[in-house]
Structure 1
Amino acid sequence: MPVQVLQRLPVQAGIQDLPVRALDRVMQGYRHILCNLHTSPFLTHLGFFPEQVSLSVAHTLVGPYTSGMEDWERLLALPVVTLRTQLVPRDFRALEERWWASTIRGGLGRALRFLLCRCRERSHLPGCVFARLFAPAAEEGGDSGMLPPWRLTVNVADSHLQANFRLFGEATEFTEAFLLALESAAFRGLGRQRFRVTVLGKDETAFERLAPDRWDSNLTLELKSPVRLQERGTIITQAPSFSQVFASAQRKVRLAARSWCGVELSFPQQQMYMARHVTVASASVRWVEMGRYSQRQQRFMRLGGLQGALKFAGEWSFAWPWLRFLPALGLGKLTTMGFGEVAWEPTPEA
């Protein structure tokens, strides 16, 4: 839905100043208005107008399986939107100590479900847009190996939060829905605090432009937020090897291609053998644990991951087509909960 449409809605400018009891009416009003905007791809994918199909989304998600470079081209051409937002506490109190990315994800999910989900049962109906966007594995009859088409990173400052969303493929059609859901969740309260939301920027690009196509320096991987890597069902709690990082990277890229483009990228198995010959020249990592309250399980949980830096040595250029996208997709599990933020840093030759 064009941003101009939301800007013309009379409630948009004043949503931050409404009393709490009026918020439900505002959200109901948004939903009613959205249901009558026949030209919006946002509504098309709510399922109200199945006869209208967004060609850009159809191109992204539907089509025959191809092979070789055609598969890569579809992934590289995938539209991507990055949203940068700032959340400032309304009461100007110091921020609570918690894993804020998990808290924001929980509030965002409840608001998005209200806006996008038409299911009346515990399980989602086939084609539920909320299930496809927020929890694709929960779609009835869906593939459990599906990747949500978005991720979240949160940086905590003394007086505010900076929450950055990256939306991929179909999710880019719902940019305004994500912003509205975030504003609603922040207004209702995240944890025990309510926030004002400011949009700092919005960038649109293609997946290919998220990472350099070549890397001429040595490799140093910075683990900026806790990274949860798993091998054979066991969480890795020590510095991972290059082959473990590479295995996770190629799985994540192939899963993204399958989930968002409907294609299967081929993977030469001999590359795993080659990866075993790339060594970790130095490692400075530590295990960090975060606390979060699970609404679904109704209990407090602790989740951990690795933070620090890894420097690799050896012939790794064969792996770069997969490794280049780690900063865009995140490394490991729970990337919609703020885990797995990484960056490649250039390092001088020894």
Structure 2
Amino acid sequence: MAHAREPSMHYLSLTFCCRLNTKASFSAYKGSMIRGTFGTHLKKTCCTTRERDCAQCMLKSVCTYPSLFIGKPARGEGRYDSLTLPFCFETCDTGKTEYEGGERFVFGVKLFSYATSYVPYFAHAFVLAGKHGMGRKSDVCPGTFELQDIVCDETSIYDRERQKVIMPAPENLVLPALDENAGGTQRVRVHLVTPCRFKEGNKLSADLPFRMLFQLVVRRLRSLWALDGESVHYENFRDMIALAESVRTVESGLFWKDWTRYSSRQNTYMQLGGLQGSIVYEGRIAPFLPFLAMAEKLHLGKQSSFGLGEVHFVLDSGL
């Protein structure tokens, strides 16, 4: 008897290690800067027609740039709809903005689905970016740098001398098992490391009950698995959502964090605030732990490609 295949998705977590050649002045929140720099130099790498609007380009179906920044049609569909982007950055942010030549900085890159095969494009884009400079450039702070290494699972995958990427094998993420009966009462502290931006009732929300947190995880799973044409059915999680209603908030240090970025592609300023800080929940936590572990890998909420929605959790086993 044939068993139904569990929907799965390829995943890579990489660390890019860079060394500044000159002084640099970076943004307070580096996720926007890194993503913007990547987009600019990826397009320089990939674009042959120089069309400003990718949607009108005859090469859009075979070009890496729109497949990363616009989305890819689901398998079997010809439409080039806007989908969840198959990558996100992690800034490893220390709050530092001013750097001297010779200093090092690192950032993380999470790749999902088909983007796991695009590691050389990420490497080449940041090699170009290093020559051009990053941050608030001036004669005093050009912000040029060298990509020195790319690390995956504590192993170097980048040969800087030859500018060659040793392609890593992606992890195969499988949907967490549903087990509403696991465990007893526990506490968990959830840290929203970067602003988590999401809507409830078609409005941006400034509250995060546990039910909403779990629904954000389910939304993220659905949107990312859809990149491979996989269906994650919301109705499968109804019992878990009902159970999540019983988990209560016992402590909250969440606050709204506003930040603004300028999009050169859209020639407009974007307001991208969200919830940040930490919150403690108590209740039947055990059934949700595999989903929280998934959230740590995938990020939650809107604009995650900028690094928003980075989540970590710590289980309090002393209850």
- Higher helix proportion, which one? 1
DSSP 3-state at the match of 1:105 = helix
Alignment of 1:322-337 (within 5 A): 322-337=291-306
Tell me the percent identity: 23
The 10-residue stretch of structure 1 (306-315 or 207-216) with the greater mean CA deviation from structure 2: 207-216
1:313 and 2:282 aligned: yes
Deviation at 1:276, TM superposition (A): 1.5
**1:187-236, CA deviations, whole angstroms, 9 ceiling, x for partnerless residues?**
21223122232225123441439999999763221111111122132111
CA contact (8 A) 2:6 2:174 kept: no
2:231 counterpart (264, 268, 287): 264
- Higher strand proportion, which one? 2
**C-alpha distance in 2 between matches for 1:115 and 1:181:** 7
Deviation at 1:127, TM superposition (A): 4.2
Pair 1:170–1:240, CA change in 2 (3 A) = same
1:229 counterpart (186, 198, 203): 198
DSSP 3-state at the match of 1:152 = strand
1:105 counterpart (35, 38, 62): 35
2:71 equivalent in structure 1: 136
Alignment of 1:75-90 (within 5 A): 75=8, 78-90=9-21
**C-alpha distance in 2 between matches for 1:313 and 1:322:** 16
2:246 counterpart (259, 266, 277): 277
Pair 1:266–1:213, CA change in 2 (3 A) = closer
DSSP 3-state at the match of 1:148 = coil
Query: Root-mean-square deviation (CA), in Å?
Result: 3.1
DSSP 3-state at the match of 2:308 = coil
**C-alpha distance in 1 between matches for 2:3 and 2:49:** 38
**C-alpha distance in 2 between matches for 1:178 and 1:318:** 36
1:208 and 2:173 aligned: yes
Pair 1:190–1:138, CA change in 2 (3 A) = farther
Deviation at 1:337, TM superposition (A): 0.5
1:172 equivalent in structure 2: 116
**C-alpha distance in 2 between matches for 1:87 and 1:163:** 9
1:187 and 2:131 aligned: yes
CA contact (8 A) 1:88 1:196 kept: yes
**C-alpha distance in 2 between matches for 1:306 and 1:195:** 32
**C-alpha distance in 1 between matches for 2:79 and 2:292:** 32
CA contact (8 A) 1:68 1:265 kept: no
Corresponding letter in the other structure for 2:229 = G
Corresponding letter in the other structure for 1:197 = L
Deviation at 1:327, TM superposition (A): 0.6
2:146 equivalent in structure 1: 196
The 10-residue stretch of structure 1 (317-326 or 168-177) with the greater mean CA deviation from structure 2: 317-326
1:246 equivalent in structure 2: 214
1:123 and 2:54 aligned: yes
DSSP 3-state at the match of 1:273 = helix
**1:285-312, CA deviations, whole angstroms, 9 ceiling, x for partnerless residues?**
1122223222133344442122111211
CA contact (8 A) 2:26 2:134 kept: no
CA contact (8 A) 2:292 2:313 kept: no
**C-alpha distance in 1 between matches for 2:224 and 2:73:** 17
Pair 1:303–1:68, CA change in 2 (3 A) = farther
Alignment of 1:20-31 (within 5 A): none
DSSP 3-state at the match of 2:127 = helix
Give structure 2 stretches of 5+ with no counterpart.
138-142, 154-167
The count of aligned residue pairs is: 276
**C-alpha distance in 2 between matches for 1:232 and 1:143:** 24
Pair 1:105–1:68, CA change in 2 (3 A) = farther
| TM-score, normalised by the number of residues in structure 2 | 0.75
